[in-house]
Amino acid sequence: MATDEFELIRRYFSDVGSDQSGSVRRTVGDDCAVISPPDNRDLVVSIDTMVEGVHFPADTSGDRVASRLFGAAFSDLAAMGATPAFFTLALTLPDNDPAWLQAFSVRLAELSRQYGVQLVGGDTTRGPLTLSIQVHGWTYPDKALLRSGACSGDRIFVTGTLGDSKGGLETLLKNIHGPQVPYLQHRFYTPEPRIDTALLIADYATAAIDISDGLLADLNHILVASNVGAMISPGELPISAELHQWVGEAQSREWALTGGEDFELCFTVPAKLEPKLGWALRNHSVGVTCIGQISAKPGILFSEGGRVWPVEPQGYNHFTNKHRV
């Protein structure tokens, strides 16, 4: 059992991933990491924290915590249309549990290789299980996808299916078993950052966000930042067969709108660029669905079967404890 902090870091975190952009000069083992920014690129950074009992159930295995942390964090780079490059990790651990740490670091290394990113630095401290990760990526100058660029008439798209992560969490909290459960729990534990999709849409999108708080809440961030509104067709929401089979139409639609933590992308594209977007996404493995349109007047309207009504944005808010697990 390792009790030395430096030995522990050295053993598990000294060789995690590699940076495809080739910008990393010095990594774990000095006071700071050193990076040589590529010429003519902007740096894009985001920090995220996950706390045991808040963002994932107590006693979640190390590999599942690694998947969830990695997917959620790099999803923020996807939302900016950035190419991931490197990350840092601050790990607060209640015990020195080599088996948990090894499972965590092995999964983290697998994902780092898969996405071509490198762990360049970290901090390990004693305390209640808390993980903070900062992710770093590169975009061309002034090409980062912001929340503030949506214009009236733009089409609103989302990637993948929505509500699955909330469904997976519910099956965990209520200890539910059934044929749909493995898929839904996989969606909860293993969010896939939509990096490839983001790089394909970046030339066409006017605004983008990743869905962490719930579609309505996150779309509302775009609307407020862009000073516009939206008309949504709830019948167009992409919902997985598994979620629909398990909880039916009404519940799956509600979770798709407000469940949160799907880490899919919501983005807007000018109507005239829709054909080019379709062409860019040919043969792409991740589904992209148009769910509505940006309007000039602030607020969100639903439109279905000839009826139009306003809705309030709602979503995940850590400080309401709504999703405390």
Q: Which residues are annotated as a binding site for substrate?
A: 55, 261, 316
**CA triple 227-228-232, angle to 5 deg:** 145
Q: Is 92 in the site for a second copy (CB under 8 A)?
A: yes
Q: Is 103 in the site for a second copy (CB under 8 A)?
A: no
Residue with Cβ nearer a second copy (203 or 249): 203
> Which stretch, 40-48, 153-161, 246-254, 279-287, contacts a second copy (CB under 8 A)?
40-48
Interacting residues with a second copy between 2 and 21 (CB under 8 A)? 3-6, 8
> At residue 166, what are phi and psi to the nearest 5 degrees?
-65, -40
Q: Is 83 in the site for a second copy (CB under 8 A)?
A: no
Q: Is 47 in the site for a second copy (CB under 8 A)?
A: yes
CB of 325 to a second copy, least distance (A): 12
200-222 burial code (b ≥16 CB/10 A, e <16): bbbebbbbbbbbbbbbbbbbbbb
Q: Point out the annotated binding site for Mg(2+).
A: 31, 46, 48, 76, 123, 210, 213
Let me know: does 270 contact 130? Beta carbons within 8 Å.
no
Residue with Cβ nearer a second copy (41 or 253): 41
Cβ neighbours for 97, distance < 8 A, ≥ 6 positions apart: none
CB of 24 to a second copy, least distance (A): 10
Query: If residue 171 lies in a helix (H) or strand (E), which one and from where to where?
Result: helix 164-173
Interacting residues with a second copy between 232 and 261 (CB under 8 A)? none
What is the rounded CA–CA span in Å between residue 219 and residue 313? 8
Residue with Cβ nearer a second copy (56 or 302): 56
Beta bridge partners of 16: none
CB of 209 to a second copy, least distance (A): 6
Q: Is 102 in the site for a second copy (CB under 8 A)?
A: no
Q: Point out the annotated binding site for ATP.
A: 122-123, 147, 212
Interacting residues with a second copy between 111 and 130 (CB under 8 A)? 120-128, 130
Beta bridge partners of 294: 230
What is the rounded CA–CA span in Å between residue 53 and residue 301? 35
What is the rounded CA–CA span in Å between residue 62 and residue 108? 9
